[in-house]
Amino acid sequence: MMKTFLVTAAAGDTGAATVKFLRESGHKVRALVRRDDERAEQLRALGAEVVIADMLKLKQVRAALDGVSAAYLCFPLADGLVEATAIFAQAAKEAHLELIVNMSQKQSRSNATSQQTLNHWMAEQVLNWSGVPTTHLRVTLFAEWLLYTSHLIREGRYVTPFGADSRFAPIAASDIARVIAAILLNPEPHVGKVYPLHGPREHSHLDISELLASVLDKPIRFEQVEVDEFLSLLGAPDNPTLRSHFTAIRQDQHEGLLAGLDDFGREIIGQPLMTLPEFIERHRGQLGG
């Protein structure tokens, strides 16, 4: 039976790929975006119904969820996460959703230093209190961070605010989207579950600079910089939300809170996850190889 799924943050890395996979499965997709731009047109080209909505407006979220079976909930790294989640939970409860797949963070916990990370934990609690069936995905750092700093990598620099020996297992957004789509298409086994999601291999940041050099066949030097300098290099020098978030993540990495591996992603999608060398090779053109 054909279903209709709502994908929020549909213009983002995980959202757009989730729309693609759900459409390929033959279902209807309503793609929620904040603005009608080129990325919205790309979603329409996939066959999605695009809705422009503010997730902090209950009336708009209600309309977006009308007639929907299940939804992927993702809120940008910005203020308003807990309020948006409460609004979404209320609208989802009214719409009798079968499932919400909620994007959270690996280090989500009640005593988090980062307000954004604490907000993710609070958002999880709101969804749990709502009674709407939910699956929480506690995701580590995306492999896409390499693309966000691709202009530096093209110059031969792997720049990060994190220590050389800090370890994590980056995961590609396309693999996260495969997990999201698989859960939405078969919700029953996943209701109430909290899944940590990592990539297939753990790396230090020094390892990553060496992998970049090897795959791209060019010298890449590792550079650790302060958070403020990193944000300036990203083009976001005056963003207090990002500043406090990256400062806290740096401490989390120092304490080993992003280290670790799991098999949940591979088991849910039934295929191996993309390795970091594969990701680098796939994006060789953007990274300057």
- pLDDT surpasses 70 at 289: no
Residue 238's pLDDT is what? Answer: 85
Q: How do beta strands 157-160 and 28-33 pair?
A: unpaired
- Residue 79: the pLDDT is 87
Please say whether the structural domain 4-140+173-197 has been given the CATH code 3.40.50.720: yes
Residue type for position 14: T
pLDDT at residue 92, rounded to an integer: 99
What does pLDDT average to over the chain? Answer: 96
Residue 208 has pLDDT above 70, yes or no: yes
Residue 1 scores a pLDDT above 80: no
Query: What's the average model confidence in pLDDT over 172-179?
Result: 99
- Read off the pLDDT of each residue in 261-275 and give the average, rounded to a whole number: 97
pLDDT value for 240: 87
Domain definitions of the chain by residue range: 4-140+173-197
**Residue 113, pLDDT score:** 81
Least confident of 92-96, 132-136, 242-246: 242-246
- Indicate if the pLDDT at residue 56 is higher than 90: yes
Cα atoms in the Cβ-side hemisphere of radius 13 Å centred on 287? 27
Q: What pLDDT, on a 0 to 100 scale, did the predictor assign at position 13?
A: 96
Q: Which stretch of 4-8, 36-40, 113-117 has the lowest confidence by average pLDDT?
A: 113-117
Strands 203-204 and 167-168: antiparallel
Collect all residues with Cβ–Cβ distance below 8 Å to 150 and sequence separation of at least 6. Answer: 283, 286, 287, 288
pLDDT at position 24 is 98
Is residue 58 within 8 A of residue 87, CB to CB? The reply is: yes
In this predicted structure, the answer to whether residue 271 has a pLDDT above a threshold of 70 is yes
- 211 band by pLDDT with thresholds 50, 70 and 90: very high
Q: What percent of the chain has pLDDT over 90?
A: 87
Mean pLDDT of 6-25: 98
Condensed to tens digits (0 to 9), the pLDDT of residues 220-240 reads 999 999 999 999 999 988 888
Q: Identify whether the C-beta of residue 223 lies closer than 8 Å to the C-beta of residue 157.
A: yes
pLDDT at site 256: 87
Quote the pLDDT of residue 77.
81
Surface-to-core class of residue 238, CB atoms within 10 Å of its CB (0-12 exposed, 13-18 middle, 19+ buried): exposed
Q: What is the pLDDT of residues 128-166, one digit of tens each?
A: 999 999 999 999 999 999 999 999 999 999 999 999 999
- Distinct helix (H) and strand (E) counts, the chain: 14, 11
Q: Residue 114 — very low, low, confident or very high, per pLDDT cuts 50/70/90?
A: confident
What's the pLDDT score for residue 253? 87
